[in-house]
Structure 1
Amino acid sequence: MTSAAPHQSVLDKPFVLDLFAGPGGLDVAGHALDIPSLGIEWDRSACLTRYAAGLDTLHADVSAVRREAFESLPPEINILAGGPPCQTYSVAGKGAGRKALEEVKGYIERLMAGDSDDDIDADLEQLTDPRTALVLEPLRYAIQATRSANRGRRPYDVIVLEQVPAVVALWNHYAKVLQETGLPDGTKYEVVVDVLDTETYGVPQTRSRAVLIARRRGLGRPVLPPPTHRAYEAKAWNRRAAEAANDVRQPTLDDQDTDARTEGADDTRLHPWRSMGEVLADPVGSHPGRRTPFLVRSNYGSSGVPGRRGVRTDRQPAATVTGRISRFVVFEHLDEHVVREGARFSMNEAGMLQSFPPDYPWSGTAQAQQVGNAVPPLFGAHLLSAALGLPVPHADVLRRPWQPATKEVQAKLRSHGCGAADACTARCPNPADQAPARPSADAREKSSAE
């Protein structure tokens, strides 16, 4: 499923623990690379999607697992990954996390110094927004691994984290303490941090993410995944569009598309960025294909004013896919004079714009929100490949229709993840317990666009 080059993994048997796993973006990436994973996710509907997809899952609160069930995690796990909830750090949100950045850095220092969990938990309760503390969980898991008798007190070999760009300051502080201070047991890591654009890895969507890749010292210095596609330049596209409108030759959309996608491409080894039309045009699995040229109108930056809404054509990558993807209005060009409102994106199509395989089994409620909150699997595959020294995945690695799990497999997975084959149990998180700490759907959608 990857390139033909032999695997050169820095680990003999990689196994991922995916914190805040969502519907499975990073786990699907691992599947494409033949890497097993276990995801921890508190949202019931996201867990239903994961079970339907055949992904090993614990329906649980990440913090509770660390406190109460860490010893039950498979001891062979050697990769820690995750993307803590981002809303309080998002530029679009109220910014409680941004205001608390320096305070959170102080908690990082205390954790690395070996302060007691009880003392830190008591102080964390004073934060304005409890979700802000969740960004500390990957570090707390890394420390807990060195205290676990079940694991033989072995630290994780590799850590992979991703978040909205506003969190890059915290990832840089993570890097500083992991490299210079080390975990309380003395384990140190080599770390790289940067903000990457997903369209430069073949995802048909413009989305920026702050990433951290760390390797335990002795496993070699990690590198960031090399881009495989050119960056999307909105200014170049808009200029070409204006030139096309004024050119007496009436250049075609194909001319505009080619010029905008190749402008400034100093490295001819990079492919042009992938467009919505390129990914959605052909029938695949149950997807009927969208061959009619189309425009997509989003609500980003509109403040409710229709004239401010962003518009992209099928020749461009999608705007950041969020929980509002089901509200995007799609207009079809029947010919040069006729434009009509067409069918809005299905969940299957929305998932494909996130680089999920066709026919991924979205389940439960708030499916658009699940799609928007997920790590784009193709981007995740690039992160894991770089973290482990594996060959770069091909852009089509996730283009085959996903085969849902059988009912028997789903029942087995749910028995493990929830405690019963067909229902949640008392050990599953109660959404009402976390409701005050979670924003409204509109707020989540807006903030996840960052």
Structure 2
Amino acid sequence: MNGVSLFAGPGGLDLAAELKGVRTVGIEWDANACATRVAAGLATIHGDVTQYGAADIPGAVLTGGPPCQTFTIAGNGKGRLELERVLEGIKLLEAREVVDPSVFSDPRTALVLEPLRWALEAIDKGIGYQAIILEQVPAVLPVWQAYAGVLRREGYGVATGKVRTEQYGLPQTRVRAVLIARYGAPAALPAPTHRPYRKGVPQHEGDPALLPWVSMGEALDRPQPFTVISNYGTGGDPKNRGRRTSSEPAFTVTGKISRNRIEGPVGNPRPRFSHAEAGQLQGFPADWPWSGSDIPQQVGNSCPIPLGVALIKAAIEVPPAAGQDQAPTTQAA
């Protein structure tokens, strides 16, 4: 099975797809991410997603994670403020009209509409995708829900919601808004395989039907114990710095992961996470050939591999239980 990966980055969803037997071609504009992809042997087009369409790269599966900078809490927030314009853009696309990206104050906001443009173009050309898998920051969920209404009217079964990455075996807590669509078939989000992480709740406690969440210490080959001290979300206030030990999952991995300090058991400094370790916290193999510059940003922008595998498996392999293709559902955030 072949597919196309939009905003492909250094290969998160692509590697996940290939692990499930889907060979993808990724479109990515960032030269650094393309360098990593090429080094990893991933089929790559260095270009702008908006300049291509479904007829250029036919495939059975469409995957994508549009840029998050205008939607994420850590970004400029312009996408969240212009959500109504995004939803109006979805209506225009369903009517087969053109969306003018200049109506958005940040052109990156308009990119969240590209997967739908591709999907509808594929349908109109008679080469519609069998499956569509999309993921982004939680603030994009209303966009995916609006997508769902359009895709259902085009014959897809669709499921949307928020998922927690540690519940799919990632050694990191990260919440993502996801969409799975299957043409002519009901869709459902993948069932969690691991327990949710709760501060202060031991790893061995919780639902016995689920596996324990995975800790940083289990994922990384470095001396333990250690403590990670994060600056993420502190606003510069040292009192707000979060701490997690090697016996817990990592904080959400972002492009600023190299700023996290690491201490040994008596407060002694330890080496900060290497590029390879940061990648492992996103589920990449330890030998993934990170290339180019700004590697922490490449890592932080990637779709976590275990989550990607679960999403693709749900889209192409697992027939969901009857009655699960309902209105968009939200899993625990």
Q: TM-score range by the shorter chain?
A: over 0.9
Task: Show the counterpart of 1:89.
Answer: 71
Of 34, 53, 61, 1:47 maps to: 34
Of 21, 28, 34, 1:34 maps to: 21
1:239-318 matches, within 5 Å, as 260-263=202-205, 265=206, 267-280=207-220, 289-318=221-250
Task: Show the counterpart of 1:367.
Answer: 295
CA–CA separation in structure 1 for the residues paired with 2:233 and 2:145: 29
Task: Show the counterpart of 2:127.
Answer: 154
CA–CA separation in structure 1 for the residues paired with 2:159 and 2:224: 43
Deviates more, 1:47-56 or 1:98-107: 98-107
AA partner of residue 50 (structure 1): R
AA partner of residue 214 (structure 2): R
CA–CA separation in structure 2 for the residues paired with 1:146 and 1:301: 42
Give structure 1 stretches of 5+ with no counterpart. 1-13, 183-187, 238-258, 281-288, 392-449
SS across alignment from 1:372: helix
SS across alignment from 1:143: helix
1:92-131 residue CA offsets vs partner (Å, 9 max, x unmatched): 333211121112111111111122x3xx23xx31211111
Task: Show the counterpart of 1:446.
Answer: none
Task: Show the counterpart of 2:165.
Answer: 198
CA–CA separation in structure 2 for the residues paired with 1:292 and 1:314: 7
AA partner of residue 216 (structure 1): Y
Task: Show the counterpart of 1:18.
Answer: 5
AA partner of residue 226 (structure 1): A
- Deviation, structure 1 residue 292: 2.4
Mapped pair 1:348 → 2:276: yes
Of 99, 104, 107, 2:86 maps to: 104
CA–CA separation in structure 2 for the residues paired with 1:128 and 1:304: 28
CA–CA separation in structure 2 for the residues paired with 1:97 and 1:292: 41
Query: How many residues get paired?
Result: 320
Deviates more, 1:196-205 or 1:297-306: 297-306
AA partner of residue 212 (structure 2): P
CA–CA separation in structure 1 for the residues paired with 2:124 and 2:170: 39
| TM-score (structure 1 length as normaliser) | 0.69
C-alpha contact (below 8 Å) 2:160/2:179 kept by paired residues: yes
1:222-237 matches, within 5 Å, as 222-234=187-199, 237=200
Mapped pair 1:58 → 2:58: no
Deviates more, 1:351-360 or 1:28-37: 28-37
CA–CA separation in structure 1 for the residues paired with 2:117 and 2:171: 34
Mapped pair 1:170 → 2:143: yes
- Deviation, structure 1 residue 262: 3.6
Task: Show the counterpart of 2:259.
Answer: 327
Q: Which contiguous aligned blocks of 4+ residues in structure 1 show a shift greater than 3 angstroms? A: none
SS across alignment from 2:135: strand
SS across alignment from 1:89: coil
SS across alignment from 2:116: helix
Give structure 2 stretches of 5+ with no counterpart. 320-332
SS across alignment from 1:146: helix
CA–CA separation in structure 2 for the residues paired with 1:71 and 1:171: 23
AA partner of residue 53 (structure 1): A
Task: From the two aligned structures, give the one with the greater helix fraction.
Answer: 1
CA–CA separation in structure 2 for the residues paired with 1:377 and 1:24: 9
CA–CA separation in structure 2 for the residues paired with 1:18 and 1:71: 14
SS across alignment from 2:51: helix
Larger Rg: 1
- Deviation, structure 1 residue 309: 0.8
Mapped pair 1:135 → 2:112: yes
CA–CA separation in structure 2 for the residues paired with 1:18 and 1:307: 41
- Deviation, structure 1 residue 141: 0.4
SS across alignment from 2:42: coil
SS across alignment from 1:34: coil
Task: Show the counterpart of 1:413.
Answer: none
Mapped pair 1:378 → 2:310: no
- Deviation, structure 1 residue 348: 0.7
1:71-98 residue CA offsets vs partner (Å, 9 max, x unmatched): 432x3x1111101011111233332111
Task: Show the counterpart of 2:176.
Answer: 209
- Deviation, structure 1 residue 390: 4.8
